[in-house]
Structure 1
Amino acid sequence: MKVGIVGLGYRLGYLARIFSASLPDFDVVGYVDPEPAGLSYTKQFDVPVGKAYGSLEELLAGETLDLLMVGSPNHLHLGHIRTGLDSGVKVFSEKPVVTTVEETMELARLIAEFGSDNVMVGLVLRYAPLYVDLRKAQKDGLLGDIVSIEASEHIAPYHGAFFMRDWRRYEKYSGSFMLEKCCHDLDLYNGVVGARPARVASFGGKRSFVPKNAPEGLGINDTEVYHRKPSGWMGTEKVFDSDADIIDFQTAIVEYANGASMTFHTNLNVPDEYRRFCVIGAKGMAEGDFVRNFFKVHDARTSAKLIDTAYSGSELSVHYGADEQMARDIGAHMLDGAPLPVSVINALEAGLLALAMDEARRTKTVVDMSETWKRFDAALSGHGS
């Protein structure tokens, strides 16, 4: 499998290692990136990434690719995906796929032209054993009709500080924190509910990483936590006085078209981090945590514990063992046409929900998504504007 990379940042450098270890015929033959932050990582683990090219067009002209992997800053994804599709190459894009509603509609029209199977997306949590077990419990009838969900993604201060220092601190590049980081989670719960979001309210802002909370009188060793995770393109050392325009906490309320509801909370300054859910159905309740590695299901009538699972995680994967499974599944899809558990359409739906959350937060209104879905469906059918 001949592979090219556009945007060799830390994530794609890491994925090059994961895919190479998981797929014997995975061969990165070239990459495009003026500042390849992930190159040191690939060199550290002896992962060959081929020849450096000056542009994506030069890479596509110089190599015969089976797969183009897009890991460039989010605002560049659409152009790189379009160029790959126009060249007849299958594309894998890191999440979020695009950064705005208008880009979403444009990509939907490209999907109508080229087909959804030609664009794959790195919503890696769909492959996590915990989520697989959640969907199995649901399929087995242990939960019944989904009524409501309480969910969160909380990250530790070192990770939150990274977002204040990296290019992702600017919404014009990332889309927003909710879109960049939490689209994983929103996709998971959209899948569990089995319906599209209908109405959204949201509240949040920046209250932790602000100047008044900067540590005072501490040496560099005491504040190392805020610089532990390296930033790449457009990085800065500023944390509490960063020029970031992203939030550092946000709460959202979602009503789905089938009547189910969800509350979702994210915070970038949680010392004992967790990423958990409680899915409550008419027949039972499922709760789990991707960080603390547990999954439980209780029966609504008897309160009996039906499932109690602990996970060991993975020494290689940063996503609870899901990265390796994603690599294997994408390999099977590429070679044999095997189905994938998540599609680019799922990813775009989660992205539209994240963008609606941000609109609701900014405008202090309840956002009705009905017109958005009409536009999206029209674009997917090759129509609309």
Structure 2
Amino acid sequence: MKVAIIGLGFRLGYLGRVFSEIDPSFEIVGYVDPAPAGLKGLTEEGISVGKSYATPQDLIAGETFDLLMIGSPNHLHLEHIRIGLEAGLTVFTEKPIVISTEESLELARLLNKHGHDRLLVGLVLRYSPLYRDLRQAQAEGRLGDVVSIEASEHIEPYHGAFFMRDWRRYGRYAGGFMLEKCCHDLDLYNGVVGARPRFVASFGGRKSFVPANAPENQGVNDLELYHRKPSGWMGAEKVFDSDADIIDYQTAIIEYENGVSMTFHTNLNVPDQFRRFCVIGSKGMAEGDFVRGFLDVHNARNNEKVIAKKYSAPSEKSQHYGADEQMAEDVLAFVQTGARQPVSALDAIEAGILALAMDEARLGHKVVDLAPVWAEYDACLHGRERVAQAKSA
């Protein structure tokens, strides 16, 4: 498979290595990135990246390839997706798919015009073995009707510090922490619920990565932990006195259109990190953790543990609990045969709208009703927006 890349950062640099291990014919024919942070890792593995181009248009005109991969900063995704779809290409974009509700509506208009089958998205946890087993247990009726969900994504201090130092620290580029980091998780539970979120409330702020907690202000000089993960574009050294406008903890409460409720909690300063869920249904309960690697399912009528599985990454270099490897296989199968993917661009948009509503609720200290957003989104996606405008003219 031949690919071209717009935005050769650390993420697509890593995925380039994963794809090349799975597909011996994998080739990067060219890329666009003025400062390709992922280039070094690829060249160290002996993977050629082809020619550097100044613009996406030059890249598309200059090369022939099977897949356009977008790893640019989030605020550039919409324009790069547009360029790819308008050129008739198959496009893979990293998450989050766009950074605002307005961009979500604009992307819906774009997909109404071009269709969404050619747009793949890197919501990688949908490909994870643990999530697939959870959905299989649900399909087998072991949970019954989903009633409520408790979920969280907590990350270690070194990773939280990365967010305070990287370009992702600015909402104008990333769309906010909940969107940038937790859209994976929100997408997963949207899928489990099988309905759209309707009402959203949220609270949070920044209490860990503040000047008072800086190690040097507590007589500690070792800052290595907080600089362990390298940053790329717009990287900075400051952590506790960062100019970031993102949160470092947040809790949200969601009610879905079908009445299912969920609580979701994230924190960027958890020394023993976990990424846990508990899905409680009318017939059973599923509890799991992507970091700690387990899935337990209990029967509600007799308390019997009917599923007990353990998971581990396929190698020490593997990220996302083995999901990247499965995603590479599935994307390759899509390019070769059109095989169905476990997640769609529409799933990504809906997870993003939920994340953005969480921040709207947090900032406004209010409950957000998403019904008007879904109505407008559907109108854009299905072309009814233009019909309504024509009737009112």
Q: Same fold (TM over 0.5)?
A: yes
In the alignment, residue 342 of structure 1 is paired with which amino acid? V
SS at match of 1:384: helix
Partner residue, 2:168: 168
Partner residue, 2:343: 342
Deviation at residue 363 of structure 1 after TM alignment: 0.3
TM-score w.r.t. structure 2 length?
Answer: 0.96
Matched residues in 2 for 1:126 and 1:286: separation? Answer: 17
More displaced stretch, 280-289 vs 1-10: 1-10
Matched-pair identity in %:
67
Matched residues in 1 for 2:314 and 2:2: separation? Answer: 27
**Aligned alpha-carbon RMSD (Å):** 0.9
Matched residues in 1 for 2:64 and 2:313: separation? Answer: 36
Partner residue, 1:324: 325
Matched residues in 2 for 1:65 and 1:373: separation? Answer: 36
Partner residue, 2:33: 33
Matched residues in 1 for 2:49 and 2:108: separation? Answer: 31
Cα pair 1:109 1:383 within 8 Å, conserved: no
Deviation at residue 25 of structure 1 after TM alignment: 2.5
Partner residue, 1:218: 220
Matches within 5 A, 1:18-167: 18-167=18-167
Partner residue, 1:290: 290
Unaligned runs of 5+ in 1: none
Partner residue, 1:333: 334
Deviation at residue 45 of structure 1 after TM alignment: 1.6
Cα pair 1:29 1:51 within 8 Å, conserved: yes
| Cα deviation 1:290-314 (Å, max 9, x = unaligned) | 0000100001010001011111222
More displaced stretch, 245-254 vs 313-322: 313-322
Unaligned runs of 5+ in 2: 387-393
SS at match of 2:339: coil
Partner residue, 1:265: 265
Matches within 5 A, 1:271-310: 271-310=271-310
Deviation at residue 44 of structure 1 after TM alignment: 1.9
Matched residues in 1 for 2:312 and 2:211: separation? Answer: 39
Cα pair 1:200 1:368 within 8 Å, conserved: yes
Number of residue pairs aligned between Structure 1 and Structure 2:
383
Matched residues in 1 for 2:101 and 2:298: separation? Answer: 39
| Cα deviation 1:71-95 (Å, max 9, x = unaligned) | 0000000001101111111110000
In the alignment, residue 128 of structure 1 is paired with which amino acid? S
More displaced stretch, 230-239 vs 13-22: 13-22
Matched residues in 1 for 2:329 and 2:125: separation? Answer: 14
Matched residues in 2 for 1:106 and 1:244: separation? Answer: 27
Cα pair 1:151 1:276 within 8 Å, conserved: yes
Partner residue, 1:192: 192
In the alignment, residue 218 of structure 1 is paired with which amino acid? V
Q: Displaced runs of 4+ in structure 1, greater than 4 A?
A: none
Deviation at residue 185 of structure 1 after TM alignment: 0.1
Cα pair 1:92 1:121 within 8 Å, conserved: yes
In the alignment, residue 376 of structure 1 is paired with which amino acid? Y
Matched residues in 1 for 2:368 and 2:327: separation? Answer: 34
TM-score w.r.t. structure 1 length?
Answer: 0.98
In the alignment, residue 225 of structure 2 is paired with which amino acid? V
Deviation at residue 113 of structure 1 after TM alignment: 1.1
SS at match of 2:42: helix
SS at match of 1:68: strand
Deviation at residue 47 of structure 1 after TM alignment: 1.7
Deviation at residue 384 of structure 1 after TM alignment: 2.3
